Amino acid sequence: MFLHILKYELKNGLRNKDLIIWLILFPIVLGTFFKIAFGSVYEKNEKFSAIPVAIVEVNENPAFRQVVEGIESADVPFLKASFVTREKAEKLLDNGDVEGIIFTEDKLRLIVKEKGLQETMLKSFIDQYVVRESIAKDAMKNAPEKVQDVISVLTEETAASCREIPLTQGNPDPYIQYFYNLIAMVAMFGCVTGMHITMQNQANLSALGARNNCSPVPKSLNILACITGSCIMQAVCMIVCVSFLAFVLKIDFGDRLYLVYPTAILGGILGICFGFLIGSLSSLGEKTKAAVLMSVSMLMCFCSGLMVADMKVIIADKIPWFNNINPAAVISDCFYCLNIYEDYDRFITKLINMIVISVIFIALGFITSRRKKYASI
Amino acid sequence: MTDTVVKINDLVKRYGDLIALDHFDLEIKQGEIFGLLGPNGSGKTTTINCLLSLLAFDKGNIEIFGKKMTPVSYDIKKEIGVIMQNVAVFDELTVYENIDYFCGLYIKDKAERKKCVEEAIKFVGLEEFKKFYPKKLSGGLLRRLNIACGIAHKPKLIILDEPTVAVDPQSRNRILEGIQDLNRKGATIIYTSHYMEEVEQICTRIAIMDKGKKAAEGTKDELKRMIKNTETITIEILDIPDKVMGEISGLKHVYKTDLTDGKLTVYCSGGKHNFMRVLDVLQKNELSFGRVYTEQPTLNDVFLEITGKALRDKED
Amino acid sequence: MQVFKAMFKVTKKRLPSVLAYMLVFLFISFVHARSATKDNKFEANRLKICVFDEDDTPESHALIDFIGKSNNLKTIENDRDVIIDSLYYGRVDYALIINKGYAKKLSAGETDDLFGSYHMDENYSVVYMGQLLDEYTTSVKAYITMGKTIDEAISSAEEALSQHTEVSMLRLDKGGDSHYSVDFAQYFEFMVYILISAVMIVVCQVLVTMNRKDIRFRTNCSCIKESKYTFQLFFGSCLFVLAMWLVLMIFGIILNKEMYAGRAWYAVLNSLIFAAVTATIAVFVASFEPKENVLNLITQVLGLGMCFICGVFVPISVLGEGVLAVARFMPAYWYVKANNMIAETEPYSLSGVLQCYAIQTLFAVAMIVLSVLVRKVKYSSAAIGTSVKKIAVHQ
């Protein structure tokens, strides 16, 4: 009996082509968008283009000029300087032709127009110059005989004083979070399928539900078969989604891709459970339910950092428990743990967290839909 | 063969202040085609839904096959076939698949099920449409599919809730014949409708419902006997003197006359040759008239007289 | 006005759904606006740093003090898991280990392998701290080379390192944008997502209902003109969008704690134009009669996709040229561009803003034309047949 219902649930789902196509198309389209957007972000950060800067020499500073020219003549110049007048410089900056203006007054002064990576780099360049200049001056004043040694110490390529101890073998790219959240969102969209389970099994929600209720098959069995069917379909969607991200877009999920799949599938099941629960709240109309599902899913995804990556950190800071009950956050955390942590403790904890939420959703859904008779149809 | 199949006792169902079923009793015997007749909102569907344990009711007792009906009475449900007022099929499944799905909820054995499904398809005449999706079916065919889904597993008790709403006469006749056929094969049938002609045509016993109460019950002849009217004579006539009118009204068995729009209607109660006698009066007064016809009372008349209003206040 | 009235009634039925969306969106924009940390001042952020001092010498203490001057020091347990957690949840930006033998090595002028650091991602703080430490040790080494003692070298190095370049933001006098802070501009930027999602979902749903086959057939049979019908649908959609936009504007006032003034009005106008664009997109999508579930997915693809590509969620400045080239074909790009100009994160010019307005309006017009075309094709292929015939006859 279970298999009979399951068979038709699957047939039914597969024939619902629009939905299936969109569920699969959705991560493909958005994933590609993400890849385009963030792919270029990485490129931009990695490929160093010389920062255009205007230098206004208020006071003559040959040493600085020499340093700048030295940098410009390097193989990979870090600066592209133009020595201009103040008016010209301001115009250049205003037009966005240069990223900043350096004024050589008694001290060096930097004017920028916006806050960004290049501006910060300019600032640290000047800082570094100022420090070295003052050390060199100190040396000239205090120990002129050792100036050459000091300068060679200052300019020699030293090995980094700090050795970075990586905590993880995984992919450190912070933008991968967006892809985790994308998968989480696809998983949450399982709620759409989850909701229809209750729709077709509740006599007061649809004519089909009434008919199903009149059959000699226990409702729980019927629902269970439907949930299984939905889960299978959602699992297919998740597998397609992860495969596309991993193999077509070449997103690096760390070295345990084989575990990403079951995690994604479990996430999809969580989404279905969520939809099932909301669907079984009979006091709401169908449209309202769909709206609640979608908006709440989006809210969850927002909180887990789909739109603004900092969101999860902020929440972790302010209300840390929320990240443990927000399904979207739990799903994306799972991927994160899988990528970042070598041991499985955290991953398994998150996985259990996910399963607990699913079970609670299902249990609540069963309890609310358990009522066999309805006040009105 | 007089076992009671369905027994409803003192059923009360309220929707807030509205009393949908008001101490309703019903008993249906095996082999009957039982008609539940009533206007819109009289409580027919509510009764059915209560009977199927879909609706919670406030008071009363429902027994099917001598056992109390509950939502978990799967052994009872196994023997029931339901055809709801609203078409309840999967849009994404074909005709065959839909029937197979619902039949499969009742019959596990595949070979047997296949036979049942084929029979059901043949029964409703959808052989040519097996591979069709419900969306492609016309209204009447869709209704037939709806019926096939309900009866494929050969239930002993079939409940049809207005299965012929919005169905063309051809499909309707087919459906009605089918129901009678099922009945001949041994199924007990509960049939609700507000089309009295259908009920009159096929039902062996009829209950008339109004405002959640049973207004009358019996075979159609019994019902007709319950009322005063036995014959209605209508005569197309342009004008008729008051004297003649008085004469007709004064005839034995005539209890009411009415003249509107050039049509004289004479209501008679009992007696055998009322028609002749009325014509005699007209002939005697040398009045010419057009078409003349006489009618036996219909369920509509029964209903009209019992509840004081027309059975069909409006078509839907 | 019959169509319009009916539409309004349908919309009213959907009010709970609208409410659910609006509440969530307002909440999101509220949180988002609150969490926005952009401001007009340029200053290096103070990082949250924890230091594990394995050397525990006066020299290492001096270093910790030095780091503490420009950063916030945090103490956490020296446990790998705790560190990972702290780094992951951003309680700590950088974990530094001062290796044993730091003082000895430093005074000997060796600078390699003095420290270890834990980090999660290759982010800015890692680079920044690496640089800072290198600078520090190089400076100390330089002073030691000068012949100073280690203590003197450290204090001199600290002194040298404490010089900071003065950085100021360019503010050329152009009427100012004190009424439209960068923070507040974020609210308007985020509105792209909210408008697309809410408008699409509600307007599309209502339109799909209104255009349902049987209803449309019935309407087609009535004596109302097709153009009039379409116009009323447009009018109704616009009115609804206007209402939603108003709510967002009022919420903006609350969030901004003052009435719009000065340049902020440009932003208001900008968002109104964009709202109109989304309405036309909604009409366009509705003409394909998507099912509700599918509509939700389309909406998310459109909303999220546009927001990512056009620089709502990721700043335009970090997006590559290729992305921006694609983004130019999306109305949200021009909305964001105008918004950036108004907030002066991009050079402001009135003509530039007006140009953005114009391009957005063009998108709206294009959408209307497209939806009319789709309607023609979908709803009256027969009509097309006859028009083709007509043309043929004329020839």
Same domain, residue pair C208 and C293? yes
* Residues B258 and B208 grouped into a single domain: no
Whole-number Å distance between alpha carbons of A19 and A3:
23
Structural domain count, chain B: 2
Nearest to A373 among B55, B104, B108 (CB): B55
Instruction: Label residue A41 by pLDDT band (50, 70, 90).
Output: low
**Contacts with C145 from chain A: Cβ below 8 Å:** 146, 149-150, 153
Comparing A342-356, B125-139, B223-237, C10-24, which segment has the lowest mean pLDDT? C10-24
The number of folded domains in chain C is 2
Say if residues B212 and B19 touch (Cβ distance below 8 Å): yes
Please determine, for residue A261, whether its predicted confidence score (pLDDT) is greater than 90. yes
Cα C165 to Cα C102: distance, rounded to the nearest angstrom:
29
Tokens of A86: 């103040």
Segment of B9-13, B306-310, C209-213 carrying the highest mean pLDDT:
B9-13
Q: One-letter amino acid identity for A163? A: R
Interface of B with A in 64-83 (CB under 8 A): 70-72, 74-75, 77-78, 80, 82
A282 touches chain B (CB under 8 A): no
Domain boundary among B165, B199, B224: B224
Min Cα distance A287 → chain C (Å) is: 7
C-alpha span between B111 and A259 (Å, rounded): 43
Band of residue C42 on the pLDDT scale cut at 50, 70, 90: very low
Q: What is the pLDDT of residue A177?
A: 82
Give residue A354's pLDDT: 93
Q: Is the pLDDT of residue B226 over 70?
A: yes
Per-residue pLDDT reduced to its tens digit, A201-222 = 887 778 888 888 888 888 888 8
Q: Is A370 on the interface with B (CB under 8 A)?
A: no
Chains C and A touch (3+ CB pairs under 8 A): yes
User: In this structure, are C200 and C344 located in the same domain?
Assistant: yes
Looking at B190, B207, B224, the residue that finishes a domain is: B224
Residues B211 and B295 grouped into a single domain: no
Q: 3-class DSSP state for residue C349? A: coil
**Please, what is the average pLDDT of chain A?**
82
Contacts of B71 in chain A (CB under 8 A): 213, 219, 372-373
Question: Cβ of A32 under 8 Å from any chain B Cβ?
Answer: no
- Total CB pairs under 8 A between chain A and C: 284
The values of phi and psi at residue A296, to 5°, are: -65, -40
User: What is the reported pLDDT for C395?
Assistant: 47
For residue A194, what are its two tokens? 């989850």
> Hey, of A19, A61, A115, A342, which one would you mutate to test binding to chain C, going by the most C CBs within 10 A of its CB?
A115
Phi, psi dihedrals of residue A79, rounded to the nearest 5° = -125, 150
pLDDT band at residue B315 using 50, 70 and 90 as cut-offs: very low
**Cβ contacts of B100 on chain A, cutoff 8 Å:** 8
Give the three-class secondary structure for B79: coil
Element (H, E) at B226: helix B220-226
Is the model's pLDDT at B71 over the cut of 90? no
Domain, as residue range, for B255:
231-301
Q: Looking at CA atoms only, how far is residue A280 from chain C in angstroms?
A: 17
Same domain, C147 and C77: yes
Residues of chain A with C-beta less than 8 angstroms from the C-beta of B64: none
Q: What is the DSSP letter of A248?
A: I
The percent of residues above 90 in pLDDT, for chain C, comes to: 6
> Collapsing DSSP states into helix, strand and coil, what is residue A246?
helix
The CATH architecture one would assign to domain A49-161 is: 3-Layer(aba) Sandwich (3.40)
Average pLDDT over residues A154-167: 68
Q: According to the model, what pLDDT value does residue C394 have?
A: 53
CB B74 within 8 A of CB A218: yes
Chain-centroid distance of CA B188 in Å reads: 14
Task: Spell out a b/e string for A75-96, using b for 16 or more CB atoms within 10 Å of the CB, else e.
Answer: eebebbbeebeeeebbebbeee
- Is C390 inside a domain boundary? no
In this prediction, residue A330 carries a pLDDT of 92
Distance CA A155, CA C64 (A): 25
Give the residue-averaged pLDDT of A326-335. Answer: 91
**Alpha helices (H) in chain A, listed in sequence order:** 2-15, 17-46, 62-72, 86-95, 117-142, 147-155, 176-188, 190-199, 207-214, 219-243, 257-279, 286-303, 310-318, 322-325, 327-340, 345-369
C156 and C73 within one domain: yes
**What confidence category does residue C366 fall into, taking pLDDT thresholds of 50, 70 and 90?**
very high
Q: Kindly give, in sequence order, each residue whose CB lies less than 8 Å from that of residue C218, ignoring residues fewer than 6 positions away.
A: none
The residue length of chain A stands at 377
Per cent of chain B over pLDDT 70 is: 97
* Residue whose C-alpha is closest to residue C13's, from A205, B16, A286: A286
Based on the fold, state whether residues B83 and B213 are members of the same structural domain: yes
Q: Is the pLDDT of residue C245 over 60?
A: yes
Q: Does B97 touch chain A (CB under 8 A)?
A: yes
Instruction: Strand B254-260: give its sheet, edge to edge.
Output: B254-260, B263-268, B231-236, B292-295
Q: B155 and chain A: CB distance < 8 Å anywhere?
A: no
Dist. CA C77–CA C50, nearest whole Å = 10
pLDDT in tens, C110-130: 777 778 888 766 666 677 777
Q: Are B14 and B127 members of one domain?
A: yes
Task: Check pLDDT > 70 for residue B316.
Answer: no
* Least CB–CB distance from B54: residue in A12, A206, A373: A373
Number of H helices, E strands in chain B: 11, 14
State residue A76's pLDDT score: 65
Please state the separation of Cα B189 from the chain's center in Å: 11
Domain boundaries, chain A: 2-42+174-370, 49-161
Average pLDDT over residues B216-243: 83
Distance (Å, whole) CA B217 – CA B303:
11
Give A220's contacts in chain B (Cβ within 8 Å). none
Amino acid, single-letter form, for residue C266: Y
Closest Cα in chain B, distance from residue A300 (Å)? 31
- pTM for the model stands at 0.76
C192 neighbors C310 (Cβ within 8 angstroms): yes
Q: Can you tell me whether residue B39 is helix, strand or coil?
A: coil
Q: Which of A181-190, B307-316, C109-118, C386-395 has the highest mean pLDDT?
A: A181-190
Lowest mean pLDDT among B258-272, C147-161, C377-391: C377-391
Q: Are residues B215 and B245 in the same domain?
A: no
Instruction: Check A215 against B106: CB less than 8 A apart.
Output: yes
Question: Which residues in chain B have their CB less than 8 angstroms from residue A4's CB?
Answer: 101, 104-105, 108
List of chain C residues whose C-beta atoms are within 8 Å of the C-beta of residue A172: 120-122
> Is the pLDDT confidence value at B200 over 50?
yes
At A161, list the tokens: 């004083």
Average pLDDT of chain C is 78
Are C33 and C52 found together in one domain? Answer: no
Same domain, B21 and B87: yes
More confident residue, A79 or C244: C244
Sign of CA dihedral B136, B139, B144, B146: positive
List the subunits that have 3+ CB pairs under 8 angstroms with B: A
CB distance A154–C138 less than 8 Å? yes
Residues 6+ apart with CB under 8 A from C262: C175, C176, C177, C178, C179, C180
**Full residue range of the structural domain in which residue C53 is found:** 48-161
Mean pLDDT of A52-58: 84
Does one domain contain both C140 and C206? no
Note the pLDDT of residue C41. Answer: 43
**Which of B193, B224, B255 is where one domain is finished?**
B224
Question: What is the reported pLDDT for C45?
Answer: 63
Contact A214 B82 (CB under 8 A): yes
**What's the CATH code of the domain at C109?**
3.40.1710.10
DSSP secondary structure string, C291-345? Answer: -HHHHHHHHHHHHHHHHHHTTSSS-GGGS-HHHHHHHTTSHHHHHHHHHHHHTTS
Q: Do B97 and A214 touch (CB under 8 A)?
A: no
- Judge whether C204 and C237 are in contact, CB under 8 Å: no
Reported residue count of chain C is 395
C395 within domain boundaries: no
